Structure 1
């Protein structure tokens, strides 16, 4: 592992803010300092510790994303609610997840990463805890749809993008892939656990587990995460010189809307948003929400189906980290076209693979689909960074909003199709065709060489 640059001079104290007047270090070398005989090796750059805390936070918060697919059958059985109604609550959750993301990125610039993330985790815990007391369908929409949706939106991938942009100059693609893989790692941990709890103890203890997981992550964020490298007197990893911490940007909502207005004037934004909407439709909206009940329709036990979904998360870790590595070396738009094309093919074959037991063809799908699941995120963030510069995290938040709106639409329509047709087959085939469209949209995005950002919206 390459060691990041160290700032010359005495490091500033570990406070929430270090200004230029209190600390003006000399430019830092671009590589590791030489190790003299008898001297100690320099410590790894603090950016890696921040990335580790961010990864743990994303893993812990993945519990809330693992539960919706496990709730459909238990809630349908206990309350008699239609799958379309339950799917609507999930769609509200997914839509708010996406629509909150760009405002959360702007709020992080105003109030700091720690405050926003801690508030988000607390909101998730509150919504999930209140779910165990519900008796009406509107309460599911309020607790899981609205509260958990708003909280999870502030914990969206814009969080990872903000941390990466502030703390890293080198290895951005790799770190983005690692942080994105945190959600898959959390899915691997929580899906089997929550499915076992749901099957043996009911859905209420599973919802309570989600609340506890969200609260458990709060101390890690508050005590170990720092908002900016200047808070600890360091330059970002790979930066040739110290970068002062910018002043808080006021008017978070206005800044987010201005970034959207400026970005929406470019064709690249609509291509990214449209393809990422299809990405959300074919992952969170379809597979994460409806894979378990679809497999159960064919006689596969819920715990087994949930375990297969968790294994997708295992291979997603490898696929996403590898995608981050590739993004540093290969054209991001070509990577996106490849990922969407392969995903579409796999979804076309899925309806033929369902059965009441696990067989080699299904295992092959799980491996193949898992490698591709969130591999689209690092190249999408890289394209936002290329085209929209310092506002790339906010623009990516809007692109992510499109992702979640696509997911919300399919989460709802998937349940409606199952109620009306008695099968999910038409949804699988339609999503596969849409992925082919996303592949073509990715190829149309024009290449932008390194240089001044296309859009630079300031507070």
Structure 2
């Protein structure tokens, strides 16, 4: 009886957050697989670094482009149904990939199918869950879910790298399929769409409210939201800073750090370990960023995040040349800041554009992020083919981050500032 009382006190929204956390963790980890597979595919099929980077670039862009439409689908058909379909499509794509023999097949499976499937389970999913289930502590929840996506991208790499080295890259994909199928069952059984489904109010609210049915076309509504947002300078500043965010994170470091280490004789498993440590520190940094975004001016948080990231990227070429200790310093410093920019960006967009449109408009901001990541993924690969080194790409990304920091403080204060009353 006592156990039942304790269980009844657990708000079901936290269970939804946990399931979403794990889903984003696994989805992002799978999205990062091409970074681990880059050298094995280059060796087995003779594909160029630029050609493989082109596939990664296309997948990253589609991963972002599907975001605004994913937000509409989540509202219209429910979170659980969309997640189940996305996981099923991703499992099929992964299962077929070991059979590929040509670059265009890799482009189809990873540049298109996996890009769309993982895009349905990107940051927009976390924002939708936070908006549906939480009236308070929303910044903290967004921070946790954002951290899970970035951490998954990095944390899975050592495991996948180890499987690839010991058993081959195909077995790494089979392990990923097994993880997706297990997750699919968990989502199908325990995921819920809205607090109303379990007879509860949003966290921090006392009123049980029935969800408002989504109105409009799932393809037209995101475009209308974009047209409305484009009239606001805040949208352009957020999209611009997020373009540079993607350029300096998953597009560059997430895709090319392991190959860059390989160029200098650092084993792939060790390089993947650096990324895994970044993921662990990112879990701390981004969750803390969510807590801070509930309390302080998000514009200045973004200024410091981008500025510090720029310094770390300029240091990276020296760290790679100097040794493991210097790489550990970079790993900790950069990891804390990996994607800490998301909670303040979500906070500003929610304040300016409102709860109802926040998911779709943030989805368009994520498109800019993934476009920047796509440019970096392809551009850094081509620069490596031309110059034989990633140093220019890393330093250029550092200076780009300085520019993003200046853009952040240009966001209008009346729209971007977070008041102390938002504190939860």
Identify the TM-score tier after normalising by the shorter chain.
Answer: over 0.9
Deviation at residue 143 of structure 1 after TM alignment: 0.5
1:272 corresponding residue in structure 2:
238
1:368 corresponding residue in structure 2:
333
5 Å matches for 1:75-86?
75-86=41-52
Task: State how far apart, in whole Å, the 2-side matches of 1:337 and 1:226 are.
Answer: 37
2:302 corresponding residue in structure 1:
336
1:168 is matched with which residue: 96, 120, 134?
134
Write the deviation string for residues 388-437 of structure 1: whole angstroms up to 9, x where unpaired: 10200110000001100110111001110011110011100110111011
Indicate conservation of the 8 Å contact 2:252/2:380, yes or no: yes
Matched, 1:44 2:6: no
Deviates more, 1:309-318 or 1:215-224: 215-224
Deviation at residue 189 of structure 1 after TM alignment: 4.2
Deviation at residue 187 of structure 1 after TM alignment: 3.9
Deviates more, 1:237-246 or 1:279-288: 237-246
**Relative to 1, partners in 2 of residues 1:167 and 1:294: Cα closer, same or farther, differing over 3 Å?**
same
1:454 corresponding residue in structure 2:
none
1:94 is matched with which residue: 47, 50, 60?
60
2:94 corresponding residue in structure 1:
128
Indicate conservation of the 8 Å contact 2:352/2:415, yes or no: no
Gaps of 5+ in 2: 418-424
Indicate conservation of the 8 Å contact 2:299/2:416, yes or no: no
Task: State how far apart, in whole Å, the 2-side matches of 1:201 and 1:348 are.
Answer: 36
Write the deviation string for residues 363-407 of structure 1: whole angstroms up to 9, x where unpaired: 111000000001011001101101110200110000001100110
Larger Rg: 1
**Relative to 1, partners in 2 of residues 1:249 and 1:109: Cα closer, same or farther, differing over 3 Å?**
farther
Task: State how far apart, in whole Å, the 2-side matches of 1:241 and 1:232 are.
Answer: 13
Task: State how far apart, in whole Å, the 1-side matches of 2:35 and 2:154 are.
Answer: 14
2:36 corresponding residue in structure 1:
70
Matched, 1:204 2:170: yes
Task: State how far apart, in whole Å, the 1-side matches of 2:414 and 2:358 are.
Answer: 14
Deviation at residue 265 of structure 1 after TM alignment: 1.1
2:367 is matched with which residue: 392, 398, 401?
401
Deviation at residue 178 of structure 1 after TM alignment: 1.0
2:386 corresponding residue in structure 1:
420
Matched, 1:118 2:84: yes
Structure-2-length-normalised TM-score:
0.94
Matched, 1:436 2:418: no
Deviation at residue 273 of structure 1 after TM alignment: 0.6
Task: State how far apart, in whole Å, the 2-side matches of 1:200 and 1:78 are.
Answer: 16
Deviation at residue 181 of structure 1 after TM alignment: 1.6
2:24 is matched with which residue: 58, 64, 74?
58
Deviation at residue 56 of structure 1 after TM alignment: 1.7
Task: State how far apart, in whole Å, the 1-side matches of 2:363 and 2:174 are.
Answer: 29
1:214 corresponding residue in structure 2:
180
Task: State how far apart, in whole Å, the 1-side matches of 2:215 and 2:190 are.
Answer: 23
2:346 corresponding residue in structure 1:
381
Task: State how far apart, in whole Å, the 2-side matches of 1:429 and 1:248 are.
Answer: 45
Matched, 1:227 2:193: yes
Matched, 1:296 2:262: yes
Bigger proportion of residues as helix: 2
Give the CA RMSD over aligned residues: 1.6
**Relative to 1, partners in 2 of residues 1:56 and 1:172: Cα closer, same or farther, differing over 3 Å?**
same
2:205 is matched with which residue: 239, 257, 265?
239
Task: State how far apart, in whole Å, the 1-side matches of 2:226 and 2:14 are.
Answer: 31
Deviates more, 1:157-166 or 1:190-199: 190-199
Task: State how far apart, in whole Å, the 2-side matches of 1:261 and 1:449 are.
Answer: 19
Indicate conservation of the 8 Å contact 1:294/1:424, yes or no: yes
Task: State how far apart, in whole Å, the 1-side matches of 2:65 and 2:5 are.
Answer: 48
Indicate conservation of the 8 Å contact 1:109/1:249, yes or no: no
2:421 corresponding residue in structure 1:
none
Gaps of 5+ in 1: 1-38, 452-459
Deviation at residue 362 of structure 1 after TM alignment: 1.4
Indicate conservation of the 8 Å contact 1:280/1:407, yes or no: yes
Task: State how far apart, in whole Å, the 2-side matches of 1:239 and 1:291 are.
Answer: 45
Indicate conservation of the 8 Å contact 2:154/2:272, yes or no: no
Indicate conservation of the 8 Å contact 1:126/1:147, yes or no: no
Indicate conservation of the 8 Å contact 1:117/1:221, yes or no: yes
Deviation at residue 287 of structure 1 after TM alignment: 0.2
